[in-house]
Structure 1
Amino acid sequence: MADDTRDFAALFLNDTPLLDVRAPVEFAKGAFPTATNLPLLDDDQRHRIGIRYKEAGQEAAIELGNQLVSGALKRRRLDAWRQWREAHPDGYLYCFRGGLRSRTTQAWLGIEGLSVPLVVGGYKALRHFLLDTLDRRLASQPLWVLAGPTGSGKTRVIERLSRAVDLEGLAHHRGSAFGRRPGGQPTQIDFENALSIALLKQAAVDAGPVVMEDESKLIGRCCLPPRLQARLRQAPRVVIEEPLEERVRVTLEDYVRAPLREYAAYYGADQAFERLAADLQAAMDRIRRRLGGARHQQLRQALDEALAHQRRYGDGDAHQGWIRELLAGYYDPLYEYAMRTHRQGEILFRGTRDEVLAFLR
């Protein structure tokens, strides 16, 4: 059996399976990519035991816990933990502070003949480690920023590089008003944890620059750490330059055709189109104020007509019109303004998407 561990870096570098025995409400607020939540106490039980602890102390709280998790319920808990352990013989378990809940779980499993080592300090220690790691890496990690107007295919380049961190992938969002994806986004804590782990893994490979896509403060609802925002403004840039028609083609694929396949996989083919259509319309309405009333009305009508055509004929090409207008009349001026006023880093290279990919490799 492995010993209890304080080697938090190894846990994350090796993608070690983790058994999280905190209550579901705690897990939902923040966890780690390889963690599975199989709680010792459900939310109501945790609440009741917390009240008992405050009123009568630890022994009374433990007694209540043993009453609440007993008999058939205890058996179900043990069976779930056993299945997890059999699937993950190299895993570790933790609770919030590595105290009573994790040690109770470990002891119960021991009676069953199963040994599962603990993460010393629990979730709290792991979270502090990742916050410290994130702060250190953002202070010292060399960065290059991949820039380019909307539709230039920045994410496609990021996905083909080994020395890169896909911020939009971590945020599960495509990074614009039209960027929502089925399944929603991670919590802010989960986003920060994943970002810290990604940087930790990059630092373990070598000390060279890591490429990140140029992003604003928010990717959907996920907020970039302030230090990362500053680094992205100041870091050297590599700029993709593609003609408008190529960017229309890429945007059509990335925001209409590929999402339709993603929606079909998530919601089922019978619901995919109508859900995507509603999300595209809602996205256009979210930027109504920035577009101005007349332009919004024109683009919304073009979007509605393209959706009606696609609904009838299954052909997405009709979306090219509103996409072209939105890129040229809305997103391009925003990009040019941001490059003039908010980006100070030197430009290392300019070129087409293929040329930029070759340069970065």
Structure 2
Amino acid sequence: MNQIRTDIEPSLDLFLKETPMMDVRAPAEFEKGSLPSAQNHPLLDNDQRHQIGLCYKRKGPEKAVALGYELATPEVRKQRINRWLDFTKLHSEGYIFCSRGGQRSHITQEWLAQAGCHYPLIKGGYKAIRQFLLEQMDTAIRDSQVIIVSGRTGSGKTQLLLKLDNAIDLEGLAYHRGSSFGRHIYPQPTQTRFENNLAIALLRNHHYFPDKPLLLEDESRLIGRNCLPPALRDKMKSAPLILLEEPMEHRLNIGIQEYVVDNLNENIAVLGEQKGFDYFCTSLYESLERIKKRLGGKRHKVLHDLMDNAIDLHRSHNDLTGYRPLIDNLLTWYYDPMYDYQLSKKTGKLLFRGTQEEILQHYPNIMIQHQRN
């Protein structure tokens, strides 16, 4: 006979094991912020939650609870229970949570128990989970040594980080490439969701690699619209550096792969071939427009003409060569001067500079050198 599991407080173990969780809050609450291992199976939909909220304000808690049970018709109740049972069968090790560990979690538990399934909840709900994560994130930032991987746009910093176990891909968490042309077709996570994902990545790294420095890509305060925690940003400003340097040809190849091939494929996968291509082209022009002021009118016109030519060649002959002069000039006129200025402001010690191959080859010695200092 299976042992009945008990309700728990938020814990490190939940996130180290990527424990499945059933978020029974309304979809609007889930969209605002939840957890990467959580699935939304709400007790109340957005409209029902709104109705009950108004009733609570106007008539008090007893009337609001009564309205909740009134809205839970036999058909609605059956649908909810069946969905929850499906989740519990797939995830026998999971947990329930609502906003504060109150009525919604307990009603979900009660209905499941009546259907023969005893399933535990997380005490304090999402509010307690988020507080736990923020505290863990503060601790991990405070206790971690940080090394910054820096390098010009297109040098392959993210690819390098993905080959190292003690690294966190901040751009991946923010779903943004960290540049004016770095947007994806899907929106970025909300700030709350980004913070939750970052906190989990930090606490996992801190747990599994306690004696290794944390490697991060050189980022500004904002990655798209997602903001880094001030404590982490402050630590990054003075952290020692590994400088990734690659020749222009290599950087052009990465630029075409990421900003043309990958972006276009992503758009086509979502919108279909024609609409995907049109959206891709529109995004390029919008990105160029965002940096017009910094470029100046003359250079902006040159780049706009190059973009026209590149897109025409791409559309008519499926030829990507027109993007090379466009990306070359973007790097030379916009990205490289901005990077060189930012690098001149760095105060951290330079540990090593070289290509990705050289960095990977010398990486063990770089870590030894860092630990000695």
Structure 1 residue corresponding to 2:63, chosen from 60, 65, 71: 60
Paired position in structure 2 for 1:21: 24
Aligned equivalents of 2:187, 2:164: Cα separation in 1? 26
* Paired residues, number: 360
Paired position in structure 1 for 2:370: none
Structure 2 residue corresponding to 1:353, chosen from 347, 356, 360: 356
Paired position in structure 1 for 2:330: 326
Q: Which amino acid aligns with 2:256?
A: L
Aligned equivalents of 2:194, 2:360: Cα separation in 1? 26
Q: Normalising by structure 2, what TM-score?
A: 0.94
Paired position in structure 2 for 1:293: 297
Q: CA deviation at 1:158?
A: 1.0
Aligned equivalents of 1:114, 1:59: Cα separation in 2? 28
The CA deviation string for residues 205-224 of structure 1, in whole angstroms up to 9 with x for no partner, is 12210110000111111111
Paired position in structure 2 for 1:234: 238
Residues 166, 209 of structure 2: 8 Å contact kept: no
Q: Which amino acid aligns with 2:184?
A: R
Paired position in structure 1 for 2:367: none
The CA deviation string for residues 311-355 of structure 1, in whole angstroms up to 9 with x for no partner, is 1111212100011011112111101100112x2110000001211
Q: Which amino acid aligns with 2:278?
A: E
Q: CA deviation at 1:245?
A: 2.0
Q: CA deviation at 1:51?
A: 2.5
| Unaligned stretches of 5+ residues in structure 2 | 365-373
Aligned equivalents of 1:318, 1:221: Cα separation in 2? 30
Paired position in structure 2 for 1:43: 46
| Unaligned stretches of 5+ residues in structure 1 | none
1:78 pairs with 2:81: yes
Q: Normalising by structure 1, what TM-score?
A: 0.97
Over aligned residue pairs, what C-alpha RMSD do you find? 1.2
Q: CA deviation at 1:136?
A: 1.4
Q: CA deviation at 1:7?
A: 4.2
Paired position in structure 1 for 2:158: 155
The CA deviation string for residues 57-97 of structure 1, in whole angstroms up to 9 with x for no partner, is 33222111000112211111111111111111111001000
1:1-361 to structure 2, matched below 5 A, reads 1-207=4-210, 208-341=212-345, 343-360=346-363
Aligned equivalents of 2:360, 2:191: Cα separation in 1? 30
Q: Secondary structure at the match of 2:353?
A: strand
Q: Which amino acid aligns with 2:234?
A: A
Aligned equivalents of 2:191, 2:129: Cα separation in 1? 16
Q: Secondary structure at the match of 2:322?
A: helix
Residues 10, 128 of structure 2: 8 Å contact kept: no
Q: Secondary structure at the match of 1:316?
A: coil
Residues 295, 333 of structure 2: 8 Å contact kept: no
Aligned equivalents of 1:191, 1:7: Cα separation in 2? 19
Q: Percent of aligned positions with the same letter in both sequences?
A: 44
Q: CA deviation at 1:270?
A: 3.7
**Residues 359/194 of structure 1: CA separation in 2 closer, same or farther (3 Å cut):** farther
Q: Secondary structure at the match of 1:290?
A: helix
Q: CA deviation at 1:290?
A: 0.8
